[in-house]
Chains A and B, each alone.
Chain A
Amino acid sequence: MITPNALTTSNPAAAVPTVAAGTRHKGELSLRRQILYQILLLAIAVTVLFPIAWVVSMSLDTTNARPTGLNLIPANPSFDAYRTVIAQPTQNPVSFVQLALNSLLLAAMISILSVTIGVLAAYAFSRMHFHGREFLMLAILAVLMLPAIATLAPLYVMLNKVVVGGFNLRDSLIGVALAVLAGQLPFAIWNMKGYLDTIPRELEEAATMDGASRLQAFIRIILPLSTPVIAVTAFFGFIAGWTEFYFSWQFLDHEQNFTLAMALNGMVGQYAGSTPWSSFAAFSILVALPVSVVYLFLQRYIISGLTIGGVKG
């Protein structure tokens, strides 16, 4: 929606003046208005950037364990805080790499499973008619409405009873991934179905006329065309795993399974007594940066999906 095209194409139209007597050219702002708007927009930009600037500067300022005054430009910036949290983020003897690998594993499992399982179901919902279709779609919608926490209690007691040898499914990243997937899969199906609905059926019809099977038509025609929505859905699954907190915090007992989000909890508020704030800041940035950067790149697809979904209701 906010493509550069949309912006540049609006300019020539704006440049054509429709002069009415006594009024200025259409599409031009008076200097006073331009300045007024710029001040307003700058002020908004400052409020948006302030928390980000604060965290970034704090992560570079290692002179104090606690920031005693507002100082958005640190005197002697260094990456010491980043080195510290990468070496040992918390009191627990778990390395940053271990935490990051656990988060990555969780995120990858949720992302891959929700997309591969979800896209097949989304295709069936979008293209096929079968007994129980309406009922299943309603059931998925009902689950979408529920917060993930609503199934915390039953999933906890159920997964806790799956014990093989010394392995308890509840106390594992796989168990957490399953719990998150329970909420993520309905979202993935719904999100991808909405997009598949917009792909013309004629394309598959032509392919099946030429003798392709349903599966072949799906793989060769639908999948390549739905790359944007698959990427976005996979990314949402990834974020859900990467920033997952409440299931991991409830399920996991062993430190070697802990994730970045769980470590973050130990650096906030009442627990923050032992963590220098520069470490907290550096750690927050390290957790946020990978998903934030990818989000910026996928932004256009995410937002166009959002507006399509929005207009369609």
Chain B
Amino acid sequence: MTAATAGVAGPPRRSFWRRSLNARTAYTFMLPALLVMAVITFYPLVYQIWMSFTDYGLRNLKATSPAPNYVGINNYIRILDNNIVIPNFDFLRVLTFNLFWAFTNVIIHVVLGVAIALLLNVKGLRFRRLYRAVYILPVVIPPIIVATVWRNMFDPQYGAINQLINSTVGVLFKLPPFTLDWLNKPDAVFSVYPLVLPLAYFALLAANTWLGWPLNSVVATGALQSIPADLYEAAEMDGAGAWMKFRVVTLPHLRPAMLPYAIYGFVITFNLFYLSYFMSGGGPFGQTELLVTTAYRLVNEQHLYGVAAAFAVFQFFILLALTLVTNKLGKATASYDA
């Protein structure tokens, strides 16, 4: 037990670490977390795998009710066959939309975040701190509030978006009242199966852009301020213009801070429940449904617990693949300049 890490600690630390090598101390510190996570995190995940091979439903809920029947991989087949009662469900379309949703959001967040951070970092700019204080506001508002407020902003009659259009463009050109139903307009703007983008997607994108760029801007600002000024001076002496300085000095210093954050943002956006659930309700025709909202409806509306378990297993592997791919991409692009 005590020899587990003999190789790690160097000689001067030995007396200290020998006492701590006692694995019992470590497990004492770990015990509460291990117990709690074993019961409410890891056991449910394993239990879920078993559930995914059964027809677990409403009638199996009570402690006294009969055990569910074993159905093999039937639940997995039902999901891939789009046969899970949820109207308009299409696994490939939902997955494609989900990926596209996360990807477009992160690109916009990072580009806007970096651009605005660069703008705020210009030397001699006035009111810099005031702008920074204002721009942080979307970060501090809970996402569920952002989602519900933006839902009502896109209301065709009473929402602020259409009213803003009416009171500016509408008044200017004497147009009839503009009552576009952003979130429910049935015909898609772009539709090449499996990627279908209804107008609601762009409304969601607008709301999430408002929500997402400021934190990227803060992270970019931190990275920008850590760039030594003499690097720019050296580049200038070599005759570099603004664009060249950006490419040679700024960009390589931004990348190590922005890339892990972009990957983190990708996973967060991929699993973003509130906007899709509250703003568009997954509509129209389930076209803005994400994997997380589908998983929620399987439990909350359909009570198909077995199918929901199988769906969660799919989610796990999709996220695992995404994490591996993004980490690979991250490493590949990081070593490019290093």
Are A and B subunits of one complex?
A: yes
> Hey, which bits of chain A sit against chain B, CB under 8 A?
1-2, 4, 6-7, 10, 13-14, 18, 26-29, 33-34, 37-38, 40-41, 44-45, 47-52, 54-55, 66-70, 113, 116-118, 120-121, 123-124, 127-131, 133, 136, 139-140, 142-143, 145-147, 149-158, 160-161, 163, 178-179, 181-183, 185-186, 189, 201, 204-205, 208-209, 214, 218, 239, 242-243, 245-246, 249-250, 261, 264-265, 267-270, 272, 277, 280, 284, 287-288, 291-292, 295-296, 299, 303, 306-307, 309-311, 313
Report whether B271 and A117 are in contact in the complex, using a CB–CB cutoff of 8 Å.
no
Whether B36 sits at the interface, judged by CB under 8 Å, is yes
B101 smallest CB distance to A (angstroms): 14
Report whether B148 and A45 are in contact in the complex, using a CB–CB cutoff of 8 Å.
no
Q: Can you report 12 A-B residue pairs in the complex whose CB atoms are below 8 A from each other? A: A2-B222, A28-B123, A29-B124, A33-B122, A44-B131, A51-B210, A129-B5, A143-B41, A149-B273, A152-B296, A179-B40, A270-B281
Residues of chain B with a CB closer than 8 A to A307's CB: 219, 222-223, 257
Report whether A2 and B142 are in contact in the complex, using a CB–CB cutoff of 8 Å.
no
Report whether A70 and B33 are in contact in the complex, using a CB–CB cutoff of 8 Å.
no
Apart from A2-B222, A306-B219, A310-B261, what 8 extra A-B contacts exist at CB < 8 Å? Answer: A40-B119, A41-B120, A66-B157, A70-B167, A121-B32, A143-B45, A182-B41, A268-B278
Residues of chain B with a CB closer than 8 A to A49's CB: 134, 137
Report whether B142 and A243 are in contact in the complex, using a CB–CB cutoff of 8 Å.
yes
Bound complex: CA A277 to CA B271 (Å): 29
Report whether A292 and B141 are in contact in the complex, using a CB–CB cutoff of 8 Å.
yes
Bound complex: CA A307 to CA B152 (Å): 34
Total residue contacts A-B, CB cutoff 8 A: 303
> Hey, which bits of chain B sit against chain A, CB under 8 A?
1, 4-5, 8, 13, 16, 19-21, 23, 25-27, 29-30, 32-34, 36-37, 40-45, 47-48, 51, 56, 60-63, 116, 119-120, 122-129, 131-132, 134-146, 148-153, 155, 157-158, 160, 163-164, 166-167, 210, 214-215, 218-219, 221-223, 225, 229, 233, 256-258, 260-261, 264, 267, 271, 273-274, 278, 281, 292, 295-296, 298-300, 305, 308-309, 312, 315-316, 319-320, 323, 330
B193 smallest CB distance to A (angstroms): 26
Report whether A70 and B164 are in contact in the complex, using a CB–CB cutoff of 8 Å.
yes
B214 smallest CB distance to A (angstroms): 7
Residues of chain A with a CB closer than 8 A to B62's CB: 160-161
**What 4 A-B pairs have minimum CB-CB distances, sorted nearest first?**
A121-B33, A129-B5, A1-B222, A295-B140
Residues of chain A with a CB closer than 8 A to B148's CB: 264-265, 267-268, 280, 284
B184 smallest CB distance to A (angstroms): 10
Report whether B319 and A291 are in contact in the complex, using a CB–CB cutoff of 8 Å.
no
Bound complex: CA A181 to CA B125 (Å): 45
Which residue of A is nearest B157, CB measured? A66
Bound complex: CA A179 to CA B39 (Å): 11
A203 smallest CB distance to B (angstroms): 11
Which residue of A is nearest B315, CB measured? A150
Report whether B222 and A154 are in contact in the complex, using a CB–CB cutoff of 8 Å.
no
Residues of chain B with a CB closer than 8 A to A295's CB: 139-140
Which residue of B is nearest A49, CB measured? B134
B161 smallest CB distance to A (angstroms): 9
Residues of chain B with a CB closer than 8 A to A67's CB: 158, 160, 163
Report whether B26 and A37 are in contact in the complex, using a CB–CB cutoff of 8 Å.
no
- Which residue in B51, B229, B271, B295 is a CB contact (below 8 Å) of A154? B51
Residues of chain B with a CB closer than 8 A to A40's CB: 119
B38 smallest CB distance to A (angstroms): 10
Report whether A117 and B36 are in contact in the complex, using a CB–CB cutoff of 8 Å.
yes
A279 smallest CB distance to B (angstroms): 12
Residues of chain A with a CB closer than 8 A to B139's CB: 295
A135 smallest CB distance to B (angstroms): 12
A192 smallest CB distance to B (angstroms): 11
Bound complex: CA A253 to CA B107 (Å): 41
- Which residue in A45, A153, A303 is a CB contact (below 8 Å) of B135? A45
Report whether A154 and B309 are in contact in the complex, using a CB–CB cutoff of 8 Å.
yes
Report whether A151 and B221 are in contact in the complex, using a CB–CB cutoff of 8 Å.
no
Which residue of B is nearest A181, CB measured? B40
A101 smallest CB distance to B (angstroms): 18
- Which residue in B37, B296, B319 is a CB contact (below 8 Å) of A146? B319
Residues of chain B with a CB closer than 8 A to A51's CB: 146, 149-150, 153, 160, 210
Which residue of A is nearest B24, CB measured? A130
Report whether A153 and B315 are in contact in the complex, using a CB–CB cutoff of 8 Å.
no
Residues of chain B with a CB closer than 8 A to A151's CB: 41, 44-45, 48, 312
- Which residue in B20, B56, B160 is a CB contact (below 8 Å) of A157? B56
Residues of chain A with a CB closer than 8 A to B48's CB: 151, 153-154
Bound complex: CA A7 to CA B137 (Å): 20
Residues of chain B with a CB closer than 8 A to A261's CB: 144
Most buried by B among A149, A185, A264, A267: A149
Which residue of A is nearest B44, CB measured? A154
A219 smallest CB distance to B (angstroms): 12
Bound complex: CA A118 to CA B26 (Å): 14
Bound complex: CA A14 to CA B29 (Å): 51
Known contacts: A29-B125, A51-B149. The answer to whether A127 contacts B20 by CB under 8 A is: yes
Residues of chain A with a CB closer than 8 A to B120's CB: 41
Known contacts: A52-B137, A269-B151. The answer to whether A149 contacts B292 by CB under 8 A is: yes
Known contacts: A145-B267, A250-B299. The answer to whether A66 contacts B33 by CB under 8 A is: no
A31 smallest CB distance to B (angstroms): 11
Most buried by A among B63, B142, B296: B142
- Which residue in B134, B146, B218, B219 is a CB contact (below 8 Å) of A45? B134
Bound complex: CA A36 to CA B40 (Å): 55
Report whether A277 and B158 are in contact in the complex, using a CB–CB cutoff of 8 Å.
yes
Residues of chain B with a CB closer than 8 A to A124's CB: 26-27, 29-30
